[in-house]
Amino acid sequence: MKRIGEREQAYVLQVLDGQLRNSAGHVMTTRLEQAFATRFNVKYAIAHINGTATLHSALVAAGVEAGDEVIVPPLTMSSTTLAVLHAKAVPIFADVDLQTLTIDPGDIRAKITPRTKAIIPVALYGLSPDMDPIMGIAREHNLIVIEDDAECFLGYYNGHVVGSIGHLASFSFQSSKHMTSGEGGMVVTNDLELAHRVRRFNSLGYAGVGAGEGKITRDDLQNPAYERHVSLGWNYRMPELCAAVALAQLERLDELVAKRQMIAHLYDEAVKGCAWLKPQRVPPGYVHTYWTYPLVMTADNIEWAVFRKKYMELGGDGIYAAWKLAYQEPFFSNPTTFIYPEQSKYGKPGCCPNAEALQPKLLQFKTNYMDLDLAARKAESLAKTIAYFDQV
């Protein structure tokens, strides 16, 4: 099994055969959007150039404006927070659950103020947050929920595919994700007006685009009186070549996700019985898709770097650390980063104690092996590493 195979190559050649002419454009993107919406049980899907642009578009479509507050978890890639800053809004950090590692609905409720406009729960490592109480809080306070599902494709929460629960959802096709086009992303929604706003924002505010239409007609373009731009927008559109690869990957998505889940099972077996390595808890009714396989190391007498070094000595590929919490990154303490002073008021040390305690202890193991035999050897290396430290 190859990550990029014959189908991806065939679709790319179809685009190249069209000589990248504008008149032939958007065919693959349209196919991708329609297929993605069907696969994720939503009405509208709008392709983007990357999975940070998707969040920016979703926030603007949700009506988030300068000075509004958006609740986010700190334990995730900082793009979630950066997108809030791109929208000129204020990120408010809600803590995470110590076992699932995902955003805590109780702390979301505690962080709501009259300025709160939206919530961005993140499906961390491939596991959905607890969406029912989050949607309940949103209804109670008239908030928009934007799922950040960059790490979760075909995950499920209480019978619902992840991405179909919030008002909008954002996916990433960056090269490490379950499906990839090198770079790219998708915003999905069931709301027609939100879809219109997303499309116009990612297409330079063009008048001729909408929820299901991402290309201006030739008649419009050749009309000297045509008024193109009806709102402010960015050029966040996905190129046809990326759409071709993403479409082929989408058609293989079940296979790609299943492979990661099988590899996660190998790691499960390797850590079974280990008292000081704790897997991410998967509650009943959830389906985890394992963008990576996370473990929390609770042994105080084993240094993170020492464990990683021994794992590599015993045949492992290395271990990724969790990201620094967004508000611990240098940019967040730099006043020149922010458009408005209030954007730097929040995210001080101690605001999310669970996330702060977890971040230095998290180990992320690769699940993107295309060869199951190779993955099995890496899981065996993990088991040997655990045995080594149990004997020390």
Q: In the chain, how many domains are there?
A: 2
Q: What percentage of residues in the chain have a pLDDT greater than 70?
A: 96
In a domain, 269, yes or no: yes
Residues 130 and 190 in one domain: yes
339-389 per-position pLDDT tens digit: 666 666 677 889 999 999 999 999 999 999 999 999 999 999 999 999 999
Average pLDDT score, the chain: 94
Residue 130 has pLDDT above 60, yes or no: yes
Question: CATH code at 98?
Answer: 3.40.640.10
Question: CATH code at 336?
Answer: 3.90.1150.10
Nearest 10 degrees: Cα torsion 294, 299, 302, 304: 30
33-90 per-position pLDDT tens digit: 999 999 999 999 999 999 999 999 999 999 999 999 999 999 999 999 999 999 999 9
pLDDT of residue 44: 98
Residue 122 belongs to domain spanning = 6-252
The residue out of 214, 235, 252 marking a domain boundary is 252
Does the pTM surpass 0.85? The reply is: yes
The residue out of 252, 277, 294 marking a domain boundary is 252
Residues 27 and 144 in one domain: yes
Instruction: Give 147's strand partners.
Output: 169
Residues 258 and 332 in one domain: yes
Residues 228 and 347 in one domain: no
Residue 23 has pLDDT above 70, yes or no: no
In a domain, 1, yes or no: no
86-113 per-position pLDDT tens digit: 999 999 999 999 999 999 999 999 999 9
Residues 36 and 175 in one domain: yes
pLDDT of residue 2: 87
In a domain, 340, yes or no: yes
Nearest 10 degrees: Cα torsion 83, 84, 87, 92: 180
SS3 (DSSP) at 324: coil
- Structure-token pair, residue 169: 């959802």
Residues 293 and 237 in one domain: no
CA 57 to chain centre: 14
In a domain, 300, yes or no: yes
Residues 248 and 258 in one domain: no
In a domain, 220, yes or no: yes
